[in-house]
Structures are given as C-alpha cells and as structure tokens.
Structure 1
Amino acid sequence: MKKALIIGAGPAGLTAAYELLTKSKDYQVVIFEETDQFGGISRTVEYKGNRMDMGGHRFFTKVPEVNEWWDKMLPRQGKPTYDDIVLDRPMQMNEGGPDPEKTDRVMLRRNRVSRIFFDRKFYDYPISLKAETFKNMGLIKTIECGFSYIGAMLFKRKENSLEDFYINRFGKKLYSMFFEYYTENLWGRHPSDIDPSWGAQRVKGVSIMAVLKNAFRKLSGKTGGKVETSLIEEFSYPKLGPGQLWEVTADEIKKLGGTIIMNAKVTGIKKDGNHIKGVSYIMDGKEVEIDGDIVISSMPIKDLVAGMNDVPADPARIAAGLPYRDYMTLGVLVPKLNLENKTKIKTIGNIVPDNWVYVQDRTVKMGRFQIYNNWSPYLVKDLENTVWVGLEYFCFEGDNMWNMTEDEFAKMAIGEMVTLNLISSADEVMDYHMERVKKAYPAYFDTYEEMDKLIEYLDTIDNLYCVGRNGQHRYNNIDHSMCTSFEVVKNIISGKTDRSNIWNVNTEKEYHETDAADNAAEEEVEVD
C-alpha cells in the first residue's frame, strides 16, 4: 500500500484525506497538523462556553460536489433553531433534516447581513441605492460620488494595481470612502501597491451597475435570473461554528483508517531530484522522519520551499519573498451594544442583525467586528443577556500589535469600542479572550508577481500537490480550497500528471461563490 503524507488539517488537507480514503483503497493516509486544533483559519475556539469563529465563514457555494459533501458531514436543519423559535422567525428547512435543538451534527440556515460602519453610520455592503444611503452620505457627498462614478466610467484607468481596479468599478470618491483605508489596514500596504488580481479574484460581478440591476430586479418583483455576486441573503453555517465541520471530518477520517498527528510541525521536505522521499516534523521537541509516496501540502508555500533541499536560487527567492498578513481577534462579552437595530430583521435582545461589520474609520485600527450571536445562537452561552463580539485586527507576525499581551491588546481594542460608541465605557466589559492566527491571508504583492515561475518549478516535482489557501498562496474561500483537493485526488487516482486543473480552481468561472465578493473590502474570509 502506498503512503500519502498530507501537511495541514485545515479544509484542504482534511478534504484531500477524506476524498483519497473514500475514492481509493491503495493509500495509507497520514496527516500532520502543527496545532492542536482542526480547521486552520476556519477553526472555532471555545472560551468559557462561548465560541469564536476565526475570521467569519459563510458556507455558500455554486459547486454541487461541495454542497453534497457538506450535507454528508452536517445535514441541513429540518427544524428551527432556538432564536427562530423564540422570535417566530421563518427560515428555510430541509424536510427530514435534524433538529438543532436535539442534536449538534447539523448545518443551520442563517440570515446574511454585512454592513459598513462609516462615520458612525451603517451602510449596506455592497453600497445600495436607497433613501437611507443618501441620507447617511448627505446631498453633497452623494452628488460627488455620482459624478466621480460617471468620470470613472468615461475614463477607464489601466489596471496596474488594486486601486485602479476599485476606481474603475466604483469611482474615486466611493473608493476613498469605503475601500482605500480598509484595504490598507487589511494588507498593511496601500491599494496602489497591490496586484489587481486580488480584486479580480475576490470581486466578481460587483459594481454600481450590479447594484442598479439588483435594485431594479427587486423593485420590479423579478426574482429569477443570475444573482449578482455578494447579494445572497441567506447562507449555511455549522451549529457550533465552522470548526465543527472539520472536527466531524477528522473523526470520519479516523474511522476510515487515516492517521492524524497533532502538534506536529513539518519542517523538512526530503527531496531526491524531482521526487519527494518523505518529510520530517518536530513533535515534543524531537525531529521525526517519515517516508511517503506522495505529498499533499496545504502549508504556506514559503515554508514548504524553505524546508526543501536542493531548490534552485530563483524559485527559492520567490518563495522566500511571498508576503502574508496575520490576524488577531478579541472576543468581548458585554451585556449590550449601543447600536440601534433599525432593520426589519428580528433578533434576540433586538441587537443589530449583522454577522460582521466592516469598520471604515481612520481613527481606529479595528478592521471588522463580528457579532457571534447572529452567526448561531449556539455560539453564545447566555444568548438572552449577553452579546459576544469579536473585534478583528490585521497585523504582521512579530510587529508591535502581535507582541502585545492579552491585557494590552484588550485595553487597546476595548478602547476602540468606546471610540466607535459600540459601548459607553470599558467598565461594561464582562470578559475577554484573545486569539492569534499566523499567515491568515496570503498577500498579492512583493514576489507574488512572479508566482507563475514558482508554480512552474513546483510542478516539476512529480509527487507533490499544493492545495488550499496557503498551499497555493491564493485567497481561496472554503469551497475553493476543497475543490483544489477534489482535483488532486482525481489526478492521483487517474494518474494525470498535468496539474493545471488544480491551480485553475478559483480562476475558472464555475468555481466562483456568489458570496465571494462579500470579502471585497475585507477578506472570507469569506470568507469565508
């Protein structure tokens, strides 16, 4: 029996393991996970009965194979959730599906609400053309945005950067209001320094014209036809957070005979010419070596190549220069938020219904905040009396923010909650918890422009397959990451040597999520 070594127990790694075990009897599967948790950035952290979603993850895809896979792991709900029962709120049900009040292994259906918080006011994301938008912006800004957009339509810029990409679709005024600072905060670089391919990948079908078409469709009562990217109104979500999906998947892999080694950091890739003989990993302070016939890697390409022997100078340089953005979040427990729910969506405690909110405020460093109560009622221990909020920040590993203690980080982040008037005083905070995520976002600058050369080199290694967000250095959503693994397993079983189908996931139209552009000002990440 051949041995498949899989690096990483996130969405891509676990999907590859499960697919290989169920599609072939020829492989022994061994997974190495650096941490003690499944799911990578898609993990869920529990703290004193409250659960935190790292980054926020909506489950929505146009790929039938992915939907079938999710249904197999977490069947869609057939009975209402706790908050839907209390509020008598209708939600789509799956006939014969499980009851979330009686079982945990269930996928919920949730309302999608994401808005921009700018100048202490809420704006729809993407920007919608309605009275509230114009009222919030004021007459002068509305006129300026209109003329700016017309100018952008008449005089298209050559798209050399992400800044060009956004201005061509929204106009310079809206770009400066809703994209420029947020994007710089997210990436640590001005949009003029970022490759436009990030926008092309993440913002599909979203423009002022897209908003106009969807607004007209609603006004005219038309519901058919293509749904524009980012305008979905519902999504699926695991009862206990996204990490639950991967915990269930890991259990299924073990039942199939797969081996998962936790707290095992892969540091070495033993290569003989263009063939990998095995890997080495650190566990309990000791280096362990293991041989294998194929390697499926979802670890950051930067680290993968650094761990290889005999890498030519050029691909080694490109890999070493690939940039990443890291992520920190603070879960904050408060009795209430100052934000008023002016929507028609009913919620427990009448809190605002947003899943997450993009913060477009140059006076703070906060990038987003999540309201976990709205993701799933089962993420919050005391749903009726507390609001469990996730304050999200983007940083670089090793910088001043990353090196803050939990109390230092909490003092800064809670202070910004007061600045934004989310709460009136830091004294209102009942508890908090900090989490860090390394290499959460592969970035599109520095040596990324030479990525094709690196891919060309990696494809010369006959038994190496790169999957997932960090494995391909591509800002994939969960379904995209899973699809890379579907393609890998198909290639392995069929003996196909051309890897273009693997690298083309999330570049071909059929893989695009309709929720992908929800991360245009963010992440995902959606996404995801």
Structure 2
Amino acid sequence: MGQQSAVIIGAGPAGLTAALELIRTTKVRPIVLEASNEVGGISRTVCHNGNRMDLGGHRFFSKSDWVMNWWQEILPIDAAANASLDLTYQNKKTSVQVAGNALESDDDRRMLVRSRLSRIFFLRRFFDYPIKMNASTASKLGLWRLTKVAVTYGWIMLFPRRPEKNLEDFMINRFGRELYETFFKDYTHKVWGIPCDQISADWGAQRIKGLNISKALWHAVKQVFKSKGGVSQKGTETSLIEQFLYPKFGPGQMWQEVARMVTEAGGEIRYNQDVTNVETRDGKAVAVSGTDKTTGEKFRLECDYAVSTMPVRELVKGMNDVPADVRKVADGLMYRDFLTVGLLVKKSDVLNTDGQALPDNWIYIQEKDVRIGRLQIFNNWSPHLVKDEDTMWMGLEYFCNEDDDLWRMNDAELIKFGAGELAKIGMLNNTNVLDGTVVRVPKAYPAYFGSYDQFDVVRRYTDTIGNLFLVGRNGMHRYNNQDHSMLTAKLAVEAIASGAVSKDPLWDVNIDDEYHEEKKAA
C-alpha cells in the first residue's frame, strides 16, 4: 500500500497550516490545490512598484499559545530591534521564549512588534476605537448625545432585548441604542449592504464577542496601571489589544515561508488549479477534480482525505448525490466582496490636526457622504511595506458585491474616485496621486444572512463524510480570524492522525470568548 494523500483545496492560512501539520505529525502527503498563482489567500501581501499591501489588515495576535508559538517558530521576533522592550508572553520575558532563534535586525525573515492604533472618523473628527468613555469622546459627542448614550445604555442593562433575533438586538444589548445608532448602525450597513436587523446575531458573537461598554471602561482603567510591553494580552478582548506581531514584509511573508517549508519537506502545491468537484462514494471523499487555468486541461486526483477551504456554496455545488434540502441551503449562502484602492501620496499632502503623519494602522470611515469603509496606512503596519519614506502608502477599502457599480469601475476611475473621497472628508490636501492600484477580492466575507440561519443543514451533511474536513473562513462559512482558521486546520490534522470521526472540535473554535483548546485544557 502506497503513501496516503490528503488533497487540500486552497493555499491560505488554513490550507497551508493543514499541509505543514500533516508533514510534521503524520505520514500523509499533502497536495495543495490553489486557484490563484500565489499563496496566502486574503492574507497575502500584494506588491506594486516596490510598495506592499496587506489586504484587510492582519494583526498577528492570538489567545492561543499554540498559534503564537507556531508563528514565532517560523518568523522569530526581531531580538535586536526589540532589545529595549520588556516583552512578555505567557508571563515570561520574550527573550526567554525565543532564546536560540531570535534574529538580528539585518535578517529579513523576522517578526516586528507593532503598536496598534485604530480610530473612527466621524463628524469630521477622530474617535478612539473601540469607543472610550473619556473626556475626549465626551467633548466630541456633545453633552446631549453623551447623555443619551448613558441613558440608553442604563436602560438596556435593566431591560435587555430577549431573545436576540438579529445583529441589531445584539449590539443594542451591549452598547445601548444611542451608541449603536451613532457608531454601529450605518457603518455595518456600509460593510454588508443590508440593515443590521436583517443580519444574524451570530455575526456579533463571532466578531465582537464579550465586548461592551463595561469592559471597555474597565480596560481603560487597567491601562493606567499596567506594565508596558506585553504582547500576550491573553486576558484582553481581541478588539482591545494594543500590541501585535507583524512580519517585516507583511502577512504574505509568513505564508510564503510556510509554503517553502511544505514543498521542501515533500509536500506539493499546485497553482492555478480551479477545483470544481469533490467526488464522494459510500460516505467518503474519493477524488477532487477541476481545471488547470493555465493549460485548460482537466485534472482528477484521488485522495485518502480531503480538506476544503473553498466557499461552501461552491463545494456543495460540485459534490455528487447531495440531498435536495442541503443543496438548496448551500445555494442560498451569500458573500460580501471588497476591493482595496492603493494610493501613494506625498506625506505632506496628508492632513492631520497636529501636523504630523497619521499614526493609525487603520481608520474606520463612518461618514455617510462617502462610500469608503476603512482606510489602512501601510507605513504604520511596517515601514518596510513602503519604498520611499517620504510617501504615504494607503489602502482604501470598499465593501461591495461582485458586478455592482464599484466593482465594475475600471482601475483608473477607482483611483481617482478614492482620492476624491479622501479629499472630500479632509484627509488629503488635494487629489494628486503619485501611484495607485486596485485589488478586488471576491467572497472576502461569508455573510450572516441569506440562508445562513439554516446552515446547520449543510454542516450536518458534510460532517457525515468522514474523511472530508471543512476548515478556514470560507471553508466553514464563518467570519474567522487568521488564527481561528489555523486552529481549525490543526484540529482537522489531529482528527486525521487519530482516526477521530467527530467534526465538533473544529466547529467549536471561536464560538465564544474562549478558544477551543483553552476550554479543553480547563
């Protein structure tokens, strides 16, 4: 009997984590099929004329010890650049944690420690993100609005909405009506294209979790007394972390390194492979097939295991003998697409109230008179993402649907449109752009509407296929962070290694404030 193989659909964080873990912990050979010509998925780094873009912004932070150690093993922390910092992780100094593989600063294969700053731009003013109930916020909101924030939050603490039927209920229960209507309602509509009362409350549980005004206030109090420099922050809500690790050349550097390790160890990554079918027989996945987009040739790979990160809708569409009710729910699953407009401008053309360059990693644009949803400043993720230090390299993020007016706009029009929007809200002195590019990302966000409320029908069916594992964001139709996707891949490999048949551990990742492995340890 020859070596067993696992066909992995997709070379994003989940797919590549599964491939490397298969090599490290089993004798199963991974064959990764990637539809594009590069690895990383939405976590890739896009290069344009010497400048690099991080699509969506990827903070390398996790409450999972395993994930943090995994990242640092592949791209160690830059010890020389951080020698003056008192970094701690798991209550230990980082110098102890990375002893033996800490890199000098002239090594490109390294992690930086970055400070996180995100703000909201609303009423042509900057607000802290998450919102802090401090003097600055009070003065910007005004006494009348601030009074309504306090009253509506107090009211909802006494009389919460039960049951939480939708995302509006979820947010009002945690922030009160006034704060919800001020900072969440319109922005969420901009992101998803539909009102909050038509989105499942599961989205809030996935992305916001336990955060509320009380926790934000308590976090602000603790910051006054905390020691500086920790990157672990395991007791901190993910939305409140203030430091994170970041690869020198962006998130794609991590996944390029993982891809190299996979291929050097005997695994295989095939690019431009458009998977269209997963063949099943007697409750098992037996083959994966599709088309090579470069040659046009059809391929069919038999497999002992299949790991899928492809969108669930397309996966089920390409499976044989699927019950009609399962196919109907899968066909009704929806996605939100987005595009990033990269703008290179002179630093002197970017406005800030104190005359300094904008310090943010990203800025949430909540103004109603522009369509931009979020602004990234790549200089502040890593200075190595920007070719010329006298320039500011920005990513303007637009949430849209494939084939709507924004998506169809050509690149030159979008670059001009984006620059005009920044000038309109006062973030650019003019619309002079030194360079620009556009990156479109279909199915970036699995949506919590459409037939999502019946998703368990699909899950129950795919779980019966013993050697098929759904992992990652689109693979599970779940708005996972990068580390959550990695953990689902890890658990899939553990199931393959042990012969476990239950898929419950994978679905348990990121369903509440604790991670699955932490609950398991407890």
Report the TM-score, using the length of structure 1 for normalisation. 0.91
SS at match of 1:402: helix
Which residue is 1:501 aligned to?
A: 505
Structure 2 stretches lacking a partner, 5+ long: 88-92
Structure 2 residue 129 is matched with structure 1 residue 120: no
Matched, 1:291 2:292: no
Letter in 2 for 1:429: V
**Residue equivalent to 2:427:** 422
Q: Which residue of 1 aligns with 2:43?
A: 42
Displacement after TM superposition at 1:411 (Å)? 2.0
- C-alpha separation in 2, matches of 1:265 and 1:225: 39
Residues in 2 aligned to 1:180 and 1:513: alpha-carbon distance in whole angstroms: 34
8 Å CA contact 2:22–2:29 kept in 1: the answer is no
Q: Structure 2: how far apart are the matches of 1:251 and 1:144? A: 55
Work out whether residues 268 and 308 of structure 1, in 8 Å CA contact, stay in contact via their aligned partners in 2. yes
Tell whether the 8 Å contact from 1:194 to 1:444 is kept in structure 2 after alignment: yes
- The structural deviation recorded for 1:91 is 7.6
Name the structure 1 match of 2:251: 242
In 1, are the aligned partners of 2:113 and 2:243 still within 8 Å (CA)? Answer: yes
Q: Please name the residue that 2:173 is paired with.
A: 168
Offset, 1:160: 0.6
The letter of the residue matching 1:472 is: M
Q: Which amino acid aligns with 2:265?
A: L
Secondary structure at the counterpart of residue 179 of structure 1: helix
Secondary structure at the residue paired with 2:191?
helix
The equivalent of 2:61 in structure 1 is: 60
Which residue number in structure 2 is paired with residue 264 of structure 1? Answer: 273
**Aligned-partner SS, 2:246:** strand
1:81-96 to 2 correspondence within 5 Å? 92=87, 94-95=94-95
Question: Does 1:454 find its partner at 2:455?
Answer: no
Answer yes or no: is the 8 Å Cα contact 1:182–1:367 preserved in 2.
Answer: yes
Deviation at 1:99, TM superposition (A): 4.8
Deviates more, 1:291-300 or 1:397-406: 397-406
Give the Å deviation of 1:222. Answer: 8.6
Name the CA distance, whole Å, in 1 between partners of 2:356 and 2:104: 22
Counterpart secondary structure, 2:18: helix
Aligned residue type for 1:118: F
CA distance change for structure 1 residues 90 and 500 in 2, over 3 Å: closer, same or farther?
Answer: closer
The aligned counterpart of 1:134 is: 138
Q: Describe the SS at the equivalent of 1:205.
A: coil
Using the alignment, how far apart are the partners of 1:20 and 1:419 within structure 2?
51
Match of 1:2 in 2: 4
Residue of structure 1 equivalent to 2:371: 365
Contact 1:21 1:253 in 2 (8 A): yes
Aligned pair partner of 2:494 in 490, 497, 510: 490
Question: Does 2:200 correspond to 1:195?
Answer: yes
Q: Aligned equivalents of 2:327 and 2:363: distance in 1?
A: 39
Q: Which residue of 314, 317, 321 maps to 2:332?
A: 321
Closer, same or farther: CA 124–43 of 1 in aligned 2, 3 Å = same
CA contact (8 A) 2:31 2:270 kept: yes
Select which of 230, 247, 254 maps to 2:263: 254
Quote the offset at 1:31 in angstroms: 0.5
Matched, 1:216 2:237: no
CA pair 388-222 structure 1, distance change in 2 beyond 3 A: closer
* CA pair 359-228 structure 1, distance change in 2 beyond 3 A: same
Q: In the aligned structure 2, how far is the partner of 1:227 from the partner of 1:271?
A: 43
Structure 2 CA distance for partners of 1:217 and 1:194, relative to 1, 3 Å = same
Judge conservation of contact 2:334–2:449 (CA < 8 Å) in 1: yes
| AA aligned opposite 2:80 | K
Counterparts of 1:433-452 in structure 2, within 5 Å, are 433-452=437-456
Counterpart of 1:51 in structure 2: which amino acid?
A: R
For residue 398 of structure 1, the aligned residue among 395, 399, 403 is 403
> 1:398-436 CA deviation, whole Å, 9 max, x = no partner?
22211111012112211111111111221x211101001
Deviation of 1:512 (Å): 8.2
| 1:496/1:46 CA distance change after superposition, 3 Å | same
**Whole-Å Cα distance in 2 between the matches of residues 429 and 456 of structure 1?**
51
Matched with 2:90 is: none
1:345-370 alpha-carbon deviations (Å, 9 max, x no partner): xxxx9312110111111101100000
Query: What's the Cα RMSD here?
Result: 2.1
Contact 2:209–2:512 (Cα < 8 Å) also in 1 = no
Q: SS at 2:333's partner residue?
A: coil
The CA distance in 1 between the partners of 2:517 and 2:444, in whole Å, is 20
Q: By how many angstroms is 1:340 displaced?
A: 2.1
Q: In the alignment, does 2:382 pair up with 1:376?
A: yes
**Seq. identity, %:** 46
Deviation string for 1:74-113 (max 9, x for gaps)?
Answer: 01110228xx9xxxx9684953555564111101100000
Runs of at least 4 residues off by over 3 Å: 89-101, 218-226
- Secondary structure of 2:407's counterpart equals coil
How far is 1:228 from its partner? 3.9
Question: How far apart are the structure 2 equivalents of 1:101 and 1:333?
Answer: 27
- Structure 1 residues 302 and 142, CA, compared in 2 at 3 Å: closer, same or farther? same
- Superposition deviation, residue 218 in structure 1: 3.4
Change (3 A) 1:160 1:143: same
Counterpart Cα distance in 1 of 2:517 and 2:436: 33
Counterparts of residues 323-338 of structure 1 (less than 5 Å): 323-336=334-347, 337-338=349-350
Alpha-carbon displacement from aligned partner over 1:90-139 (angstroms, at most 9, x marks no partner): 68495355556411110110000011111111111111122211111122
CA distance in 1: counterparts of 2:256 and 2:240, whole angstroms:
30
Could you tell me how far 1:167 is from its partner in structure 2?
0.8
The number of residues matched between the two structures is 499
**CA deviation after TM superposition for structure 1 residue 273, in Å:** 3.6
CA distance in 2 between counterparts of 1:260 and 1:228 reads 36
User: Within 2, Cα distance between the matches of 1:253 and 1:66?
Assistant: 17
2:486 matched to 1:474?
no
Q: Is the 8 A contact 1:74 1:106 kept in 2?
A: yes
Q: In the aligned structure 2, how far is the partner of 1:121 from the partner of 1:338?
A: 15
Q: Contact 1:341–1:351 (CA<8 Å) still a contact in 2?
A: no
The 1-side partners of 2:52 and 2:247 are apart by 12
The offset of 1:204, in angstroms, is 2.3
Residue aligned with 1:445, SS? strand
Q: Distance in 2 between matches of 1:291 and 1:483?
A: 26
Match of 2:154 in 1: 150
Q: CA deviation at 1:333?
A: 0.4
Query: 1:225 offset after TM fit, Å?
Result: 9.6
Structure 1 counterpart of 2:385, which letter? L
Tell me the secondary structure at the aligned position of residue 317 of structure 1.
Answer: helix
1:150-184 Cα offsets, whole Å, 9 max, x none, are 22222211211101111111111111111011111
Q: Structure 1 residues 251, 79: CA separation in 2 closer, same or farther (over 3 Å shift)?
A: same
Name the SS of the counterpart of 1:498 in structure 2.
Answer: coil
Instruction: Provide the C-alpha distance between the structure 2 equivalents of 1:268 and 1:350, rounded to a whole number of angstroms.
Output: 53
**Secondary structure at 2:240's aligned position in 1?**
coil
